[in-house]
Amino acid sequence: MGNVRFADGPEPVTLRRRLQQKPAMNPIARFAATIIFVLVSGVDAIGDESGSPVQLREVNPIKGAPESRVIAITGARLIDGHGGSPVENACVIVKGDQIIFAGAQAEAQIPTGAIRFDAGGKSLLPGLFDSHFHSQDTAKRPIEYELDNGITSFRDPGHPFKFYRWLNGNELTVPRIFLCGGHLDAAPPAWPDQAAVIGTAKQATEAVDAHVARGASGIKIYMRLPAEHIAAACAAADRHGVPVTAHLELVRADAAIEAGVDGIEHITSFGTALADPKQAEVFEQVVGSDSNARREWRPRLWSGIELENNPRLRPLLDQIVKQGTFVSPTLAIFEARVGEKEATPVTASAFANMLDFVGHCHRHGAKIVVGSHTSAPFADRGKAYLREVELMVEAGMTPLEVITAATKVNSEFFGAQDRLGTVAAGKTADLILIDGFPDKNIKDLDKVTHVMLGGNWVKGQEN
């Protein structure tokens, strides 16, 4: 893979609220922004200093298959990510790293000399996206499970760039990695070694500029950043065409959405916007004085939320849908069932309300995406993503809707839908084959037999 550099590529797809991309920073401004970032978060730069326009791309450009190689995958059930019914007995033709045909095999014109791969009995899907994955800077990284599970792209929302220095010069085959850089938080930060600590709107703007200059394709807001500084960060991100996503505790979700965030991480982030205002105020006071108290007080808050006849529910849902806010629930990390894994009536009741709220979001038309948060209490090591999709079905989504959330909708959240997320001519060949029918039984997503990344087989087949 070689040294990690920011990839050149096509102009980024315009996102909701996005302004015309401003010109690239001149070298002096870019240098100043990088110095500010290093002072704020104390990490080494890995981004491109060439001055080329920022693109919403992974930090580890994937070496695609040679253009001379043509592979025809035949006989599979094609679930293309658009949400429609599967195409039976389909054919997908890949030339180099690009899909040149996807559809019924009867309509395919397979080029002479193409390598034919019989996928009869399998389902063919776009590579999955994980919208919320945290790698650890250790020798045994959970990242190594991602490709094996069919996840070809992931975003780490909020870990600093230093956590990914191991990518430099590393030939390990890994998914496309989209980074946000260190999350933006206010003092005292919940995670001092991971945060860019912000005290003014100007610092929020400078931190965003520096993150983007180094390769960030998203910006992560954390729990203490006040709404006015969130707004400044969003305005700066707008100028770069980069989405902003937020983990909230002290700022209400409706206020953060009003400030301009594109996504909300964790279903718990909606708690103070849904709870009785007096209960929300107590939560904010306790957690505001002790960040660690959030782990005890989130279930307390959520166990007391009544969604039926809640006057705050409909306005919040309307706002989420109107603004096109992406919702990344990460349900699996909050799962609690009475009598299992030390759950209490409070934590179990809280989780039931979280599931219910995800169902409300879905029925109302919110853009829900899939994120694993790496590990979960009811999932084996490396299987948090599978547990997350199972819980989304439990919340009321159909398996096919969950697949669409995991592929097409997630690619939109990443700003990468111009080349990834669906199986169609002109898209990059990130594909998976499954020995089952995941559109009927979501558990079949755990039966990935083959993975293709950029036109190269990386699981199940020699190139």
281 within some domain: no
**295 has pLDDT over 50:** yes
Answer yes or no: are the C-beta atoms of 116 and 91 closer than 8 Å.
Answer: no
Place of tokens 């953060």: 256
What is the average per-residue pLDDT within 429-457? 98
pLDDT digits over 157-184, tens only? 988 998 888 888 777 789 999 999 999 9
Contact between 405 and 370 under an 8 Å Cβ cutoff? The reply is yes
pLDDT value for 137: 54
Note whether residue 298 is domain-resident: no
Q: What is the mean pLDDT of residues 442-460?
A: 98
Least confidently predicted of 40-44, 110-114, 256-260, 283-287: 40-44
Instruction: Identify which of 366, 157, 128 has the alpha carbon closest to the alpha carbon of residue 265.
Output: 157
Give φ, ψ of 145 to 5 degrees.
-85, -20
pLDDT tens, residue by residue, 219-251? 999 999 999 999 999 999 999 999 999 999 999
Question: In angstroms, rounded to a whole number, what is the distance separating the alpha carbons of residues 290 and 312?
Answer: 27
pLDDT score recorded for residue 330: 98
Structure tokens that stand for 173 in this block? 């085959």
Q: Residue 11 above 70 pLDDT? A: no
Of 262 and 375, the structure prediction assigns the larger pLDDT to 262
Confidence at residue 38, expressed as pLDDT on a 0 to 100 scale: 37
Q: Hey, which residues does 155 pair with through a beta bridge?
A: 178
Tell me the C-alpha distance between 240 and 254, whole Å: 24
Q: What secondary structure letter does DSSP report for 45?
A: -
In a domain, 293, yes or no: no
The two tokens of residue 297 are 């007080």
Check whether 443 has a pLDDT greater than 80: yes
84 in a domain, yes or no?
yes
CA distance 190 to 290: 9
SS3 165: helix
Residue 1 pLDDT: 40
Residue 392 lies in a domain: no
Residue 147 belongs to a domain: yes
Inter-CA distances, 102 with 8, 73, 86, 372, 423, Å: 27, 10, 12, 29, 7
Burial pattern 49-62, b for ≥16 Cβ within 10 A else e, equals eeeeebbbbbbbbb
8-state DSSP, 169: T
Percent of the chain with pLDDT over 90: 79
Distance CA 246, CA 250 (A): 11
Q: How many domains does the chain have?
A: 1
Computed over every residue of the chain, the mean pLDDT equals 89
Local confidence band at 15 (pLDDT 50, 70, 90 cut-offs): very low
Largest Cα–Cα distance in the chain?
A: 71
Global pTM reads: 0.89
Strands of the sheet with 176-179, listed across from one edge: 128-130, 151-156, 176-179
CATH number of the domain enclosing 95: 2.30.40.10
Nearest to 130 by CA among 321, 324, 332: 332
pLDDT at 142: 61
Q: What is the pLDDT of residues 16-44, one digit of tens each?
A: 343 333 333 343 333 333 333 333 333 33
What is the model's pLDDT at position 360?
99
pLDDT at 42: 38
Q: What percent of the chain has pLDDT over 70?
A: 87
Closest Cα to residue 11, out of 63, 46, 53?
53
Q: What is the pLDDT of residues 84-115, one digit of tens each?
A: 999 999 999 999 999 999 999 999 999 999 99
Which residue did the predictor score with more confidence, 252 or 46? 252
Question: 139 or 159, which is more confident?
Answer: 159
From the list 4, 349, 372, 346, the residue with the least C-alpha distance to 155 is 372
- Cβ(25)–Cβ(209) below 8 Å: yes
- Of the listed ranges 26-35, 103-112, 422-431, 454-463, the least confidently predicted one is 26-35
H helical segments located in 263-398? 271-274, 277-289, 294-303, 313-323, 345-364, 384-394
Residue 255 within a domain: no
Q: pLDDT tens-digit profile of 342-358?
A: 899 999 999 999 999 99
pLDDT in tens, 379-398: 998 899 999 999 999 999 99
DSSP state for residue 284 in the 8-state scheme: H
Rg (C-alpha) for the chain, rounded Å, is 22
Q: How far apart are CA 406 and CA 92, in angstroms?
A: 20
Residue 166 covered by a domain: yes
Domain carrying residue 114: 65-179+420-463
